Amino acid sequence: MRSLTSLVEDDDTRFGELEPILRRLPSYKKLSDSMSLEWPVNNKLWGLPGVKSMLVDLELGHEAVVRLCRFGYLGRQGGLPVGKRLRFVATSEAFCKPLRRFQQCTCAEHAPLNAVDWSSTGFYNAELSGALNRASKACASAAVSA
């Protein structure tokens, strides 16, 4: 059972779960021209030394933060917009640049934490998928013209 009082222990556990995926990233990088990775802004994984050094090693030096409210995510039962932010890091500036226009919002209020179905925010909806698709295309055409 996970300790709810020790964030460090919880982070270590989560890093442990992700480690097999993270270990495969260098091989993915060899297979493609570019690569990106995304977690919520507030995910403590970003701050772990092992993760930080891996981002440097994989040259994931470009960043964009997007707000889910910009893609129409709403709290339960059509509630207020969801204020959760996702941080993308990528090897390509061309991928990040179009995403940055989703960093700011004009919402007067976001859904309270207890009014959000967090499992649904773990999936890309059609709007976010579309934005990521456009960013990937921008990245691909930048790679071709480089």
Q: Residues 98-137: x/- map of binding to Zn ion (CB under 5 A)?
A: -------x-x------------------------------
Give the shortest CB-101-to-Zn ion separation in angstroms: 14
Q: Which of 35, 58, 64, 69 binds Zn ion (CB under 5 A)?
A: 69
> Taking the CA of residue 96 as centre, how many other CA atoms within 13 Å lie in the half-sphere pointing to its CB?
19
Burial bucket for residue 10 (CB in 10 Å: 0-12, 13-18, 19+) = middle
Minimum CB distance to Zn ion smaller for 26 or for 72:
72
Reference 86, options 132, 49, 53; nearest CA is 132
CB 15 within 8 A of CB 51: yes
Give the shortest CB-128-to-Zn ion separation in angstroms: 14
Give the shortest CB-102-to-Zn ion separation in angstroms: 10
Stretch touching Zn ion by CB under 5 A, among 4-12, 48-56, 68-76, 127-135: 68-76
CB 68 within 8 A of CB 83: yes
Binding site for Zn ion (CB under 5 A): 69, 81, 105, 107
